[in-house]
Structure 1
Amino acid sequence: MEQNSQSNKGGQSYRSSLLLFLAASIWGVAFVAQSVGMDYMGPFTFNGARSLIGGMVLLPLIAFRERNRKRDAVEEETPEKKKARRKVTLIGGCCCGLAICTASMFQQYGIQYTTVGKAGFITTLYIIIVPIMGLFFGKKVRRIVWAGAALAAAGMYLLCVNETLSLNKGDLLVFICAVIFSIHILVIDYFSPKADGVKLSCIQFFVAGIICTIGAFLVETPTWSALVSGAVPVLYAGVMSCGVAYTLQIIGQRNLDPTVASLILSLESVVSVLAGWVILNQTMSSKEIFGCVLVFAAVILVQLPEKKRQPEAESEVG
C-alpha cells in the first residue's frame, strides 16, 4: 500500500511538472505576441484586453464542469461547505488578480527604462525570492532545491544579460515585479488546494482586466481600430497565455513545492529565446545556449527524488 501511495504521488508530481512546463512554453511564445501587440496599443490596454479575454474563455469551461459535476456527483457538498468554498475562491481570485495585474504593469513600465536582457534576468529572480519568502511561512526547502535555484539563476544570467548589471529606475521597477510574481506564486500555493482552480483563474483575470481597463482609460487612449489591428497577438495572449497557461499553473501547483514550481515556470525565458529564434529569426550566441542548458539542468536537478534515511531499528535488524 505504501509503495502504491508513493507511486501515485510520483505520478501526480510528474503530471504537475508537465502541466507547468506547458504553461511556461505558452508564456515563452507569448513574449513574441506581447512584443508585436505593443506596436498597436499601450500596456494597460493590451493587458486589460488579454485579461478580460482570458476570463471569458474560461466561462464555458466552468459551465461545462458544473453541469458534469451535478450529473455525476455521488455525494453533494453541504450548503455550508459550498458557501465556504465560494468565499475562498472569490478571495483567492481577487488576491491573485491584484498580484498578477500589479506585477505585469511594473514589468511593462520597467522595460521602458532598462534593457530587455536585464529585465528578463531580474524578473526570473523570483526563483530565488520564492524559497526565501517561503521560509517566513514555515516552508522547508531541500538543499538540492537551493542548488537548483542558484544554477537556474546562473543560467538566466547567461541567457538574458548581455551587459554589465547595474541598478537604475527600470531595474528597480522590474525587481518589484519579480517580488510581486513571487507573492503570486505563494498566493496560488495557499489558495489552490482550498478553491476551484478554474474558477480561481477566471476571477483573477476579470479582476486584472477590470483594473487594467480602468487604467487604460485614465492614462491611455484605447481605440477599437487598435484592438482590431492587434487582434492576433491579443487573442493569443488572452486565450493561450491567460486562459490556458495560468489555469495550468494553478492546477499544476497543487502537488508541487512552490520553489520547484517557480523553477519549472522559469523555463518561459528559455522558450521565449527559442521562439524568437524560430519565429522572429533571432539567433542565439553560445553563451545563451549554455544558459538554456543550465536552466534545464536545474529543473531536472530539483525533480530528483530525495534519499530517505532508513530507521535505526531496521538497520540494526539487518
Structure 2
Amino acid sequence: MRDASLRADGLCLVTALIWGLAFVAQRMGMDHVGPMAFNGIRFALGAAVLAPLAVRSMRYPPPAPFLAGSRDGFPWLGGLLAGGVLFAGATLQQVGLQYTTAGKAGFITGLYVVLVPLLGLFFKQRPARGDVVGAVAAAIGLYFLSVTEDFTLAPGDGLELVGAVFWACHVLVIGWLSPRTRALPLAMAQYVVCSVLSLACALAFEDLTWTGVRGAAWPIFYGGLLSVGLAYTLQVVAQRDAKPTHAAILLSFETVFAAIGGAVLLDESLGSRGLFGCALMFGGMLASQLWPRRKAGHG
C-alpha cells in the first residue's frame, strides 16, 4: 500500500511537471502559428491519444445520464457544454501568453484553485475559512506579480485572470458531469469540441500555413500528446491511490514548474517583486486546498 501511494505521488509530480512546462511549449509554438491554430491542433492530438481508452471504457456500464433521453450516459451532450467552457479558458490563456511570461501565466491560471470554492457561493455553498484566507493571499500576490506602479493590470495578465475564471467554471462543470457520464469519453468529447471551435476561428481569423505548423511541430506535439493526452491519463491513474492532500500539493507545483521552465528555457525573469507575489499566490492555493474543512452538521 505504501509503494502504491509513493508511486501515485510520483505520477502526480510528473503530471504537474508536464503541465507546467506546457506553458513554455505554448509560448514557443506561437512563434510560428496563431493561438487558435495552436489550440486547435493540440486538442485534436489530445483527443486522438485518449480515443482508444475512451472507446474501451464505453464497454462498461455508464452512470445515470445527466439528461432525460441521453441514453447510456452518452458523453457528447456533456462534451458540448464542457468543451465550450474549455474553449473559452484555453483561448484566453493562449492569447494571453502572447503578452505575458510563461511563469506569470502559470501562477495566474493556477488561481482557479482558489476561485472554485468562491464561485460555489452562486450555488449557496459556504467557502471554508481556508478558501477565504487563500483568496486574500492570492489577491495580494496577484497585485505584486501583475499590477504595475500606476495600478494597471498588464494586458496579458488580465486575459490570464479572466481565463482562470473560466478554468474554475470548467472544474465545476466537470464536477457536475463526471458522476453522470463516463469520464474518458467525456474528456475526449470536450477536446474534440474545443479543437473544432479553435480550428474554425483559426481558419477565419489567422493566417494558417503548413510551413507555420511544421515550425511549431514540437511545441504542438508536447501540448497535445503530453500535456493534454498523457498528463490527463496519468492524473486519473495517480489519483486512484494518491491521498487527496498529497495530490493537491503535488499538482499545485504546476505553477512552480511553469516559472522554472520560463526562466531556464525562455530566459524570463519575474524579479523580486514578482517572486514575492508568486510565493503569496502559491501559499493561497495551498491554503484553499489543505485547510481543514468544517464537518457537516456543526454550524
Contact 1:125 1:153 in 2 (8 A): no
- For 1:50 and 1:310, the matched residues in 2 are separated by 46
- 1:269 maps onto 2:255 in alignment: yes
- 1:135 maps onto 2:121 in alignment: yes
Aligned positions of 1:76-87 closer than 5 A: 84-87=71-74
Q: Find the counterpart in structure 2 of residue 303 from structure 1.
A: 290
- Tell me, which stretches of 5 or more residues in structure 2 are unaligned? 242-246
Q: Find the counterpart in structure 1 of residue 209 from structure 2.
A: 223
241-250 vs 100-109, which deviates more? 241-250
Contact 2:109 2:163 in 1 (8 A): yes
- For 2:146 and 2:206, the matched residues in 1 are separated by 31
Deviations 1:163-208 (A, max 9, x none): 3341587666444323222211110111122222211111111111
**SS state at 1:193 partner:** helix
- For 2:238 and 2:180, the matched residues in 1 are separated by 14
Bigger Cα Rg: 1
Contact 1:122 1:178 in 2 (8 A): yes
**TM-score for the superposition, normalised by structure 2:** 0.75
Deviations 1:81-131 (A, max 9, x none): 9964433x222222111111122223333455x544876665455344322
- For 1:285 and 1:80, the matched residues in 2 are separated by 50
Change beyond 3 A, Cα 1:292–1:264 = farther
146, 151, 159: which one pairs with 1:161?
Answer: 146
- For 1:304 and 1:168, the matched residues in 2 are separated by 31
52-61 vs 242-251, which deviates more? 242-251
Q: Which amino acid aligns with 1:221?
A: D
Q: Find the counterpart in structure 1 of residue 49 from structure 2.
A: 57
- 1:26 maps onto 2:22 in alignment: no
Contact 2:249 2:286 in 1 (8 A): no
Q: Which amino acid aligns with 1:44?
A: M
- Tell me, which stretches of 5 or more residues in structure 1 are unaligned? 1-10, 70-75, 256-260, 312-318
Percent pairwise identity: 36
103, 112, 119: which one pairs with 1:126?
Answer: 112
183, 187, 191: which one pairs with 1:197?
Answer: 183
Change beyond 3 A, Cα 1:298–1:29 = same
121-130 vs 174-183, which deviates more? 121-130
Q: 1:146 Cα deviation (Å)?
A: 1.8
Deviations 1:246-287 (A, max 9, x none): 4566788999xxxxx999766433221111233334455444
Q: Which amino acid aligns with 2:290?
A: Q
